[in-house]
Structure 1
Amino acid sequence: MKEGIAVAGTITVDEIKRISKYPNKSELTTIQNISRSIGGAVSNCSVSLAKIDHTIPIEIVTLIGDDEKGEFLKERLREYRNIDLNQVKMIGNTPFTDVIQDEFDHSRTFFTYRGNSSLFDENTINLKNLKSEILHIGYILLLESLDKEDSVFGTKMAKVLKEAQELGIKTSIDIVSENSSRYEQIVPPSLKYTNYCVINELEAGKSVGIDLRGSSGELIIQDIKKVLLKMKELGVKDWVVIHTPEGSFGFDGLNVYSIPSLLLDKKFIKGTVGAGDAYVSGVLYGALKGLDLPNSMKLGTAAAASSLFEEDSTSGIKCYEQLITMYEEFPKKDEIKL
C-alpha cells in the first residue's frame, strides 16, 4: 500500500542577502545581512511537510552535486527522520540561488545558477520504486530536460506524470514564475496528467493566456473563476488552486472556493522566500489526509503565513495542530467574492 508524499525536481542552496532597498541599474546598495538555507521545490516542500507532520513518509528525488553546497543540503535534509534520501543522485554542480530580500517592500529577486538541474530527466525518477501515494514535481519551466517536447504526450514532464498515474500514484505539479511566453506551450500537456495543480496567479494566468494582474498590479477578480475552469478543462483531475497574497481560490470540479489570507502585521514579516512552496505543502498534506479542498486551502494559507515569520523558506513552518489554530485565531483579509 502506498503512503506519504514524494517530492521531485529542483533543489538549490539559497544564499539570502537582505538589503534596505533594491537599487536601480548601475546603482549601489548595501547588503545588511547574509544567510544560507535550503531552497527549491524539493527542499522547501519536503521539509515543510516534515515539519507539518513528522510521522508521514517523505521521499525526495533530486540531483545534488558532489560539492560543498551538496553536502550542506544533505546535512540539512538528514535532520528529518521521515525524509528518505534513497533516490538522491550525485552528479555535476549543485544549483544555487542568490535571493535578494528587499526590506523596503518585502519583495524578493532571484538570480539562479541552474547547475545540474538540466540533467534531471524522465529517467531520474524510478517510479516503480516509489512508495508514495502522491508525487509532487517542481518546477515546470525550470527542469529543461522535462520541458522538452515529447511526440506522444506533448512534453517529457507529461510523460512522467502519465506513467506515475498508471502506477496508481496521484500527481502534483508546480511552475516557476518567469517573464516569458513559454507557459501556453509547455504547461498544458502536463495538466492532462495532474491530480493537484497548486500555483500562483501569474503562473495560472500565463498558462491559459488570461492575465490575472492588471497594469497597476491589481488582481483581476472577474477572471479568476474563468482561469480555474479553463485549467480544469485542460485535464486537471482533482483540484486546481490559485494562491495570491490577497487570498486563494480553488475548484474541485463541483464548487469554486475563495479563502482569505491571514492579516499579518508587516513588522513581523521577515521574508517571503518559500511561501508558495509552504502553501503547496499544506494543500498536499490536506489531500493526503483526506481533507476537503477548502480546509486544505486553509492549511496551506496558514503554512504560507507561518513561513513569513523567518527569513528562509522553512524555519517558520509550524506543525499541523498549530497551523489549524493559527488559521482560526489570526485576523483575516476580506474574502474576495468570485
Structure 2
Amino acid sequence: MNRNGIAIGGNIVFDYVKIIDSYPKQGNLSTILSIQRSVGGALPNTLIDLAKMDGDIPLEGIGVAGCDEPGDFVIDLLKKHGINTDMIIRQDKLGTSFTDVMTVQSTGDRTFFHFRGANSLLDISHFDFNRIKADILHVGYALLLDKLDAYDPEYGTVLAHTFFLAQCSGMKTSLDVVSENSDRFSKIVPPSLKYTDYCTINEVEASLITGIPARDKDEKLILDNMKPICTRLKQMGIGHWAVVHAPEGAFALDDSNDFYIQPSLELPAGYIKGTVGAGDAFCAGVLYCIYKGWDIKKALQIGTAAAASCLSEPGSTDGMRDIDSMEKLFMTMPRRKL
C-alpha cells in the first residue's frame, strides 16, 4: 500500500470548558463566569490542529463515540475540517466521553473532571491496517484507554501489540500519554516504547515513566535532568525522537542521540486565555514536521509556536492557525530565559 497522511487513534472527548473566578477548597464555592463547548482528547484536538495548520494533509481518525449529541458534535466538527471519520465507531453501550474543564480566569490553570465513556472500548480490533491509508499513526492517550492499556502476554500491553502491527504494515508510530497521579506509568507505558518511533510527552509524564525527577521540591524545572530523562526514554526503545515539553521549554534527543533545547516563547501579560489542548497542539506541530520530513530542531520550534497559539483562546483548538502563522509567531516572539 502506498501510504500517505496522519492517522490518530485514541480519546474522543466532548469538553465543557468552564471559566471560573478561582479554584475553591473542598466544600467551598467558586463562580462560573462562562461556559464554552469544545472538542477534547488527543484525536479531535490533534487532528483539528493539523487540519488548521495545513488543509492538504490526509487525516484519519480511529476511535469510539456514543450514539448521542456530544458524539454528533465532535464528528460533525471533524468532518467540517475535512477529516476522515469512517473508522470512528458509534455505539450505544456507553455515552461519548466528556470532561468538565475548570479554568481559572486569572491564571489559565485548569483542572479536569473526566468521564471515560466510549473511549474505554477502543481496542486493537478497531485498527484495521488494510483500511488505514496514513503512513504515521499517533495514539493518545496511553493510561486513559482501558482496552489498549490492558495486559498482553506477548507484547506487554494491547497498545504495544497495536504499534507492532502498525510498524509491520509500514507505518511510523507516535505516542502521547496522559498526566495522572498513579504508579501505572512504569507498568503500562514502557512496553509500547519498544514499538514507538516518536514519543512526545510532558515533563511530568516523562519523569513518572523514567523515575528521574523533572522538578525539585519547589516545583522548579531541573534542567540538568532533562537530557538524562530523554536518554532514558530512548534507552527504553524509542526508535527516533524522544521529545519532552514543559511550560519552560522543550527538550529532545534525535536519531543520533543529539540533544536539543528549545525555550518557550515569552508571552505578554493577558495573552493566555486557557491552557487546555496546549500539549496536543505541541504534538500536532511535531507530527506536522515528521510528516514534512523536517528535522527535530524545526519540530521543536513549530511545536512551541503551536502550543503558544493554542494558549491564546480558551478552547482546545480555537487558537490554532496555519503553518505560515506558526512560523511567523515563532520568529517574532521573544524566548523565555532558561
TM-score by length of 2: 0.97
**Structure 1 residue ranges without an equivalent (≥5):** none
Aligned residue in 1 for 2:86: 86
Distance in 2 (CA, whole Å) between partners of 1:168 and 1:194 is: 13
Aligned residue in 2 for 1:320: 323
Q: 1:127 Cα shift?
A: 1.8
Aligned residue in 1 for 2:21: 20
Q: 1:180 Cα shift?
A: 0.7
The answer to whether 1:178 aligns with 2:185 is no
Equivalent in 136, 140, 143 of residue 142 of structure 2: 140
Aligned residue in 2 for 1:302: 305
- Contact kept, 8 Å, 1:142 with 1:176, in 2: the verdict is yes
Q: 1:39 Cα shift?
A: 0.5
Distance in 2 (CA, whole Å) between partners of 1:151 and 1:191 is: 16
Distance in 1 (CA, whole Å) between partners of 2:102 and 2:319 is: 19
> Any idea what SS the aligned residue of 1:27 has?
coil
Q: 1:50 Cα shift?
A: 0.2
Aligned residue in 1 for 2:159: 157
The answer to whether 1:247 aligns with 2:244 is no
Distance in 2 (CA, whole Å) between partners of 1:273 and 1:247 is: 17
The answer to whether 1:58 aligns with 2:94 is no
Number of aligned positions between the proteins: 334
> Any idea what SS the aligned residue of 2:139 has?
strand
Aligned residue in 2 for 1:333: 336
Q: Which moved more, 1:165-174 or 1:126-135?
A: 126-135
Q: 1:210 Cα shift?
A: 1.3
The answer to whether 1:77 aligns with 2:78 is yes
> Any idea what SS the aligned residue of 1:248 has?
strand
User: What letter matches 1:90 in structure 2?
Assistant: R
Distance in 1 (CA, whole Å) between partners of 2:107 and 2:219 is: 14
**Structure 2 residue ranges without an equivalent (≥5):** none
Distance in 2 (CA, whole Å) between partners of 1:200 and 1:268 is: 22
> Any idea what SS the aligned residue of 1:146 has?
helix
Q: Which moved more, 1:211-220 or 1:21-30?
A: 211-220
Measured against aligned partners, the alpha-carbon deviations of 1:128-179 in whole angstroms (never above 9, x if no partner) come to: 2111010000000000111111111110100000100000000001000001
Aligned residue in 1 for 2:5: 4
> Any idea what SS the aligned residue of 2:250 has?
strand
The answer to whether 1:264 aligns with 2:267 is yes
Distance in 2 (CA, whole Å) between partners of 1:256 and 1:72 is: 42
Aligned residue in 2 for 1:96: 98
Q: 1:207 Cα shift?
A: 0.4
Aligned residue in 2 for 1:42: 43
> Any idea what SS the aligned residue of 2:130 has?
helix
Aligned residue in 1 for 2:286: 283
Q: 1:269 Cα shift?
A: 1.0
Q: Tell me which stretches of 4 or more aligned residues in structure 1 moved more than 3 Å.
A: none
Equivalent in 102, 106, 109 of residue 107 of structure 1: 109
Distance in 1 (CA, whole Å) between partners of 2:324 and 2:69 is: 36
Distance in 2 (CA, whole Å) between partners of 1:267 and 1:30 is: 20
Q: 1:246 Cα shift?
A: 0.4
What do you get for the CA RMSD once the two structures are aligned? 0.8
> Any idea what SS the aligned residue of 1:145 has?
helix
